[in-house]
Structure 1
Amino acid sequence: MEGQVKRLSVKAGAAALMACACFLLYSVWTSRDDPSAEGALYQAIQQNSLPNGALIFRRGKGTEAGAVVIAERNGLWSHVGLIASGPHGVTVIHAVPAEEEGKPDVVKEDSLEYFLAKERATNAAVMRVKGVGEKEAETVVKAARRMIGMPFGIHPDAADAKGEIYCTTLVETAWKTAGIALTNQRDIINMPFVGGAYLLPDTLAASELLVPVSSKHTME
């Protein structure tokens, strides 16, 4: 019995140390993000040509964003969505945890301004897929719109039985409908409660099929 108690104590202590380490890393990460004028990042990005189906990467705020960057070993991006054009102007289709109290974790379509608002983003970049035309891009956007309303979830490849989808998975799946595989690379994660092969935003951004539409804009 004493041995069991000792083992449980050791495990509890290790978990506490891990939690403290993640908190300290997250605190350092968020402390580097400088405040800026409302709408500055949106104004910097929207002045570029933003083609249908382009990928928009965002470095976000909050614990979920911090956890992604930590998992990427201090990466650049914590989130990604797809650029779409329609009657409401330029929008972003993305799978995301609830960004407002009482809202669901879900795939949704937001205005570009909302996606890049000061309270959600510290910097961003847009990348297009090389060698594709408007027809393929329209196919991708239509596929992404069919996923609107699906619940957001973080799952390793082929391990999801709940119909949930992650931000990178949404983008990758939409582009596969046009016959284009953006990457076959995966990130092996081995953390408490999270383990397996994931596609993280930085790995997707490193795809050889992507070229910048806009450079990264850090909010200052």
Structure 2
Amino acid sequence: MIVRIFNIVALFLASAFYALALPHDLKNGDLVFRGGDEVISEIIKQVDKSGFSHVGMLWISDYGVQVIHSTPSEHSNIKDGVTVDSLEFFISRAKPNSVRFYQVKGSEEARNIAVQTVLERVGENFSIYPGQGVYCTELVAAAWLKAGVSISTGSRKLDMPFISDNPLIFPENLINSENIFPYPQ
């Protein structure tokens, strides 16, 4: 109980600092997007018109609202890859006013499958190269697809030197899906 109260207070303080209104009806499997503070975030925002560079899936656990995401390492003691972070930590890595919550149209059963799918991938490497790991948008899109819900409108190649020439799913490919809609602000 004390942990839950601490998480609620910490989440309130984080949301106040980032002027973030948390939807009262967040559900397992919903998505949280941010404009991140990593170098890769700036590259993504150059080609993606959504204003976001990163996404994670919400998991409402006994420890509060958690975010499961694949990222270059944001912790000194954890390698790049699929990780579980508190929502407070996820938000703390965002640029101010660059966090937004999106609800996925999916049944409770589909939500549970999507969350379980990403949890099973915790520890997998971060990579935009096929067979070497998974990146954030690919992680959530694949999990929801396994649950029977398509949340991606497609992919496209990045025309940049030293970057994968494989098609990638960008945040706008998710946001433009008919199965995703923003929570009211």
The TM-score normalised by the length of structure 1 is 0.71
- Give the gaps of 5 or more residues in structure 2: 1-12
Alignment-derived partner of residue 47 in structure 2: 71
2:142 is aligned with 1:204? no
Q: Deviations over 1:76-108 (max 9, x none)?
A: 100001011111011100000011335311101
Counterpart CA distance in 2 for 1:109 and 1:71 is: 27
Question: How big is the alpha-carbon RMSD for the aligned residues of Structure 1 and Structure 2?
Answer: 2.0
Contact 1:115–1:121 under 8 Å retained in 2: no
The 1:87/1:43 distance shift into structure 2, 3 A limit, reads farther
Superposition deviation, residue 182 in structure 1: 1.3
Alignment-derived partner of residue 9 in structure 2: none
Alignment-derived partner of residue 189 in structure 1: 158
Contact 2:34–2:55 under 8 Å retained in 1: yes
Counterpart CA distance in 2 for 1:161 and 1:153 is: 9
Alignment-derived partner of residue 4 in structure 2: none
How many equivalent residue pairs? 171
Aligned with residue 144 of structure 2, among 168, 175, 195: 175
Alignment-derived partner of residue 56 in structure 2: 81
Alignment-derived partner of residue 165 in structure 1: 134
Alignment-derived partner of residue 153 in structure 1: 127
Identity percentage of aligned residues = 30
Contact 1:81–1:93 under 8 Å retained in 2: yes
Alignment-derived partner of residue 66 in structure 2: 91
Matches within 5 A, 1:101-180: 101-117=76-92, 119-122=93-96, 123-130=98-105, 132-155=106-129, 160-162=130-132, 164-180=133-149
Which secondary structure state, in structure 2, belongs to the residue aligned with residue 93 of structure 1? strand
Counterpart CA distance in 2 for 1:105 and 1:53 is: 22
Contact 1:140–1:177 under 8 Å retained in 2: yes
The TM-score normalised by the length of structure 2 is 0.84
Superposition deviation, residue 144 in structure 1: 0.9
Superposition deviation, residue 121 in structure 1: 3.5
Matches within 5 A, 1:15-26: none
The residue type equivalent to 1:48 in the other structure is H
Runs ≥4 residues deviating over 6 A: none
